[in-house]
Amino acid sequence: MKPRAPAGLESGHDASGEKKDETMARSSIPAQAPRRSAAGRVFGWLLALVILLAAIGAGGWYWLAGELDRRIASALDAAAGQGAVVLCENRQVFGFPFRLGLSCDRISVDAQQNGVRLATGALRTAAQVYDPSHIVAELDGPALVDTPDLPPLHLNWTLAQASSTLWTEGLERFSLVMEAPVLSTRNGQEAGAPIASSQHLEAHARQNGAALDLAFTDKAIAATIPGIPPLPPFDLSADLSLDGAAGWLRSGVPAANVSEALRGQAGTIRLLELSLPGGGGAQLSGPFSVSPTGELSGDFRLALENPQAIAGLVGVLVPGTGGLATTIAGAVGFAGRQEGGKTVVDVQVRNGEARLGFIPLGRLPRI
């Protein structure tokens, strides 16, 4: 039988082990406590930083919202001072926290000096807080238009969206897209007989140095002009540049009259195209200038397909050009050259007088 250890020795061994474990536990507490305390401080600082940034962001948004509302109010007051009453019904600034937008339940403009009145549906605009210079907008129809020289008009669409880019000198770029626009006469507040419609319309303008670049596309135009036989559907597009006209984006067209503003201007038509879905088309390009009295000068490349069909359409769309269009259509057969399936002629215009080489074509109406 194996002898047992004395009770004192056995209990002494257990006491020593317990003391060692207790000592190790006590020695480990001071090492872990600072780590936990440091982690807590870091977390606390991070939480405080997040709260501070959120407060700054919220304060910044509300400051921007207030500034936007003040500027809109100032612009409306400035317009009223110039004789145009502009109303934005139920004006609200929205979009917190990442967007900044303006909404109106209804827009109306009454330019009393010119006798022009316009009323539309709701307007919604928005910009990202981190890029407030890029603004997108959507406008609800219809638009009711009254002018001194035209009957009351009704313009409607399924979708109308616009975007603009602002920079230090004001508006730098603008785009407009409309789906299924329809222009009609108006009976009271309701649409009457349609005048023109299309499937898709786009218009773009941008500053290019001192020049103004313009682009326009309208697809499947159907026009019903009183007193004129129905026109076939057609597409129309333009891409041109006006020298020295970049300021038009910032301050508007001078005198709010495009014809008068073009007088004394020069530029380049990169492409002016008229096409018929059933066959036939015209493409015009070249530099041009307009005299102070409205006479056009330029050297143009004109490419034609089915010239007779195009001549008839041009004569209706541009009053005063029917005889010239018919003359050109008759002359291309012997004076033109074939390029890519089209007949191409070079037309020179000097102070409104058009010539095809040595052949006089006629006179263009003043702009």
Domain count, the chain: 1
Average pLDDT, the chain: 84
User: How confident is the model over 334-353, as a mean pLDDT?
Assistant: 89
pLDDT at 7 > cutoff 50: no
Q: Does some domain include residue 135? A: yes
271 φ, ψ to 5°?
-165, 125
Tell me the per-residue pLDDT of 166-189, one tens digit each, with 9 for 90 and over.
877 778 999 999 999 999 999 988
Tell me the per-residue pLDDT of 192-244, one tens digit each, with 9 for 90 and over.
889 999 999 999 999 999 999 999 999 999 998 777 777 889 999 999 999 99
Q: How confident is the model at residue 54 (pLDDT cuts 50, 70, 90)?
A: low
User: How confident is the model over 339-365, as a mean pLDDT?
Assistant: 90
Residue 9: predicted pLDDT: 39
Q: Does some domain include residue 210? A: no
Range of the domain at 101: 29-140
pLDDT at 337 > cutoff 60: yes
Q: How far apart are CA 86 and CA 118, in angstroms?
A: 9
Look up residue 70 and give its two tokens. Answer: 């003040």
Q: Does some domain include residue 346? A: no
Q: Does some domain include residue 287? A: no
Give Cα separations from 278 to 199, 220, 228, 306, 328 (angstroms): 17, 11, 20, 10, 21
Q: Does some domain include residue 320? A: no
User: How confident is the model over 249-270, as a mean pLDDT?
Assistant: 89
Q: Does some domain include residue 128? A: yes
Q: Does some domain include residue 311? A: no
pLDDT at 322 > cutoff 60: yes
Instruction: Using alpha carbons only, give the angle 197, 220, 332 rounded to the nearest 5 degrees.
Output: 120
Q: Does some domain include residue 47? A: yes
Residue 280: predicted pLDDT: 86
